[in-house]
């Protein structure tokens, strides 16, 4: 497996990395385990909070330089990358502020004695992370686990190694002891070996259904607790009373942010017949007005996709949809630029027997469905193997809440596109995975809830 930064705007290989050796893997395990042994009783939280406070400061001080590393790795717009750095810094603030509360022992009433639950570290966590938010994905698992006292070994996506190493270097610079976060350039077999090691007690993966199944299988074979944050084919359900002007303002970000490569970006727009034609025309206007170009240029509004492989996969899916009866309402034309650009595309008329009906289209492609009856729309939203983050959009908020409660998903946004904030638990159901990251739920994912009982 080759770890390299291939800039998706220029197609140039900017950096290459050599695979981590068995000795480097062992060093990471030994250093991490030593830290776990020091921290497992709950010791060192104050020092770890100081490290995370410093990490937040460094992220803010180096915002643009760090953002550029991500843009070169996987092509995202520089402004979006800066926003990602800010979001990571906000995770530092949030967890430093809340760690004592979240990790405090929890008293349990029992008439027979005295009992309480300690929130303790459980051991090294193996984190397998994707390229689409190179810093955010690491930050949202590393920061809470470090505060708990769980050291982490990171295997990041092979196409964003420079970002992963930059994040790990920043953590070290913030004062984290060696072994707190070790970024390794390992292949899939080495990931399996690390998971099997008895010093590793947890596994978290963000990625595709395919990657999730493979890594969850390794975790299950070795009885390691795991969380899976996988793909989505999320619905954006427009209610008949929706304000089309408000809707038009959020359509571009809901679908095109990060070149459409967001697990929770709305992928299926389910629109009532009274708004269908107007919706399509507004979406087309928004898609036609994007400016593709250098993602480091602040006037660019649509980034290239992260890699040639991703672009080719998306094109194959769009071709397959069309072969099976989908109508191209807009887009699907070649883009005359050297980078991995995919023209924003709008597809309609995808029937349930179309092979892409239940597939995630991970790029700037919007699929639009028309409905007449609301129950039919809810059934369509739920007719998916995935269940990550959906949107319900309408003027009557009470009605929107009733609809939200009927959606099968880990997260639903009312009158907003997808979002991620430190205090909001993030995760899905069905093939979108299990477990939650961020918020209180995230910090407790790999905590040993250690019951202590004292007889009277």
Enter the tokens of residue 344: 């924003």
3-state secondary structure of 302: strand
Residues in the chain: 456
Which value, in Å, is the radius of gyration of the alpha carbons in the chain? 23
β 200-206/225-229 pair status? parallel
Pairing mode of beta strands 225-229, 433-434: antiparallel
DSSP 8-state secondary structure symbol assigned to residue 164: H
Residues 82-101, one symbol each (x = binds ligand NAP by CB under 6 A, - = not), give --------------------
When the beta carbons of 197 and 229 are compared against ligand NAP, the nearer one is 229
Three-class secondary structure of residue 225 per DSSP: strand
Report, in Å, the least distance between residue 139 CB and ligand NAP: 13
Say if residues 193 and 221 touch (Cβ distance below 8 Å): no
Query: For residue 74, which of 313, 290, 295 has the smallest C-alpha distance?
Result: 295
Question: Out of 27, 38, 90, 208, which residue is the one contacting ligand NAP (CB under 6 A)?
Answer: 208
Are 202 and 128 in contact, with CB atoms under 8 Å apart? no
Is residue 27 close enough to count as binding ligand NAP by CB under 6 A?
no
Pick 32 or 442: Cβ nearer ligand NAP: 442
- Which residue among 85, 143, 263, 326 contacts ligand NAP (CB under 6 A)? 263
Instruction: Kindly tell me which of 36 and 386 has the beta carbon lying closer to ligand NAP.
Output: 386
Count of alpha carbons within 13 angstroms of residue 87, beta-carbon side: 22
Residues 126-165 contacting ligand NAP, CB under 6 A: 128-132, 155-158
Nearer to ligand NAP, 264 or 354 (CB): 264
Decide if residue 214 touches ligand NAP (CB under 6 A). yes
Number of amino acids touching ligand NAP (CB under 6 A) = 31
The residue among 407, 379, 383 whose CA lies nearest residue 393 is: 407
Longest CA pairwise span in the chain (Å):
78
Active-site residue, from 218, 263, 360, 437? 263
| Shortest distance in whole angstroms from residue 189 CB to ligand NAP | 8
Report the residue from 272, 363, 428, 435 that binds ligand NAP according to the rule CB under 6 A: 428
- Region binding ligand NAP by CB under 6 A among candidate stretches 76-84, 145-153, 204-212, 328-336: 204-212
Report helix angle 63-74 to 161-173, nearest 10: 160
Asked if 222 interacts with ligand NAP (CB under 6 A), we say no
Question: Could you confirm whether 204 is annotated as catalytic?
Answer: no
- Piece of 99-107, 225-233, 314-322, 333-341 that binds ligand NAP (CB under 6 A): 225-233
Query: CB under 8 Å to 215, separation ≥6 — which residues?
Result: 128, 191, 195, 203, 205, 207, 226, 228
Site membership for ligand NAP, residue 422 (CB under 6 A): no
Site for ligand NAP in 365-404 (CB under 6 A): 388
Residue 256: CB minimum distance to ligand NAP, A: 15
Q: Which two tokens stand for residue 436?
A: 């939650």
Residue nearer to ligand NAP on the CB measure, 190 or 448: 190
Task: Write the CA distances from 339 to 76, 304, 334, integer angstroms.
Answer: 12, 6, 12
Minimum CB distance to ligand NAP smaller for 235 or for 280? 235
Which residue do the tokens 């006292």 mark? 149
Among 139, 58, 90, which Cα is nearest to 421's?
90
Nearest approach in angstroms of CB 58 to ligand NAP is 24
Cα–Cα distance measured from residue 414 to residue 33, given in angstroms and rounded to the nearest whole number: 44
263 is catalytic: yes
342 binds ligand NAP (CB under 6 A): no
Candidates 84-92, 203-211, 284-292, 445-453 — which segment interacts with ligand NAP by CB under 6 A? 203-211
Nearest to 256 by CA among 345, 316, 140, 348: 345
* Beta carbon nearer to ligand NAP, 201 or 264: 264
CB of residue 436 to ligand NAP, shortest distance in Å: 10
Would you name the residues annotated as active-site residues?
229, 263
- State the residues that interact with ligand NAP by CB under 6 A: 1, 128-132, 155-158, 188, 191, 205-208, 210-211, 214-215, 229-232, 263, 360, 362, 388, 428, 432-433
């Amino acid at each position: 497996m080759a770890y390299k930064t291939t800039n998706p705007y220029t197609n140039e290989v900017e950096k290459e990395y050599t695979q981590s050796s068995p000795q480097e893997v062992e060093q990471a395990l030994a250093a991490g385990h030593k830290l776990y042994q020091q921290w497992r009783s709950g010791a060192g939280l104050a020092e770890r909070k100081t490290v995370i406070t410093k990490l937040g400061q460094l992220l803010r001080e180096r915002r643009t330089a760090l953002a550029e590393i991500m843009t070169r790795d996987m092509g995202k717009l520089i402004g979006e990358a800066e926003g990602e750095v800010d979001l990571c810094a906000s995770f530092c603030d949030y967890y430093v502020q809340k760690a004592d509360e979240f990790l405090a022992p929890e008293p349990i009433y029992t008439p027979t004695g005295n009992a309480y639950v300690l929130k303790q570290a459980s051991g090294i966590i193996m984190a397998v992370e994707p390229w689409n938010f190179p810093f955010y994905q690491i930050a949202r698992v590393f920061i809470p686990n470090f505060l708990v006292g769980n050291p982490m070994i990171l295997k990041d996506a092979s196409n964003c190694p420079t970002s992963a190493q930059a994040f790990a270097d920043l953590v070290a610079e913030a004062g984290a002891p060696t072994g707190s976060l070790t970024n390794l350039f390992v292949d899939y077999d080495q990931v399996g070996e690390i998971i099997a090691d008895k010093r590793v007690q947890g596994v978290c993966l963000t990625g595709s259904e395919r990657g999730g199944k493979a890594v969850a299988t390794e975790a299950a074979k070795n009885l390691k607790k795991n969380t899976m944050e996988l793909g989505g084919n999320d619905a954006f359900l427009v209610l008949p009373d929706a304000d089309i002007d408000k809707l038009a303002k959020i359509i571009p970000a809901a679908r095109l942010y990060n070149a459409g490569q967001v697990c929770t970006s709305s992928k299926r727009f389910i629109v009532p017949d009274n708004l269908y034609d107007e919706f399509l025309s507004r979406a087309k206007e928004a898609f036609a007005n994007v400016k593709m170009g250098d993602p480091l240029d602040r006037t660019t509004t649509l980034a290239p996709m992260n890699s040639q492989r991703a672009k080719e996969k998306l094109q194959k899916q769009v071709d397959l949809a069309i072969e099976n009866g989908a109508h191209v309402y807009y887009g699907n034309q070649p883009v005359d630029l050297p980078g991995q650009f995919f023209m924003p595309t709008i597809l309609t008329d995808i029937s349930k027997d179309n092979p892409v009906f239940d597939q995630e289209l991970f790029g700037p492609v919007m699929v639009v469905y028309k409905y007449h009856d609301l129950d039919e729309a809810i059934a369509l939203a739920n007719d998916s193997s995935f269940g990550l983050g959906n949107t319900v959009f309408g003027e009557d908020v009470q009605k929107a809440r009733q609809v939200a409660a009927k959606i099968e998903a880990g997260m639903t946004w009312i009158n907003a596109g997808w979002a991620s904030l430190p205090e909001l638990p993030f995760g899905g159901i069905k093939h979108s995975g299990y477990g939650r990251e961020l918020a209180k739920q995230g910090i407790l994912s790999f905590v040993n809830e250690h019951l202590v009982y004292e007889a009277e």
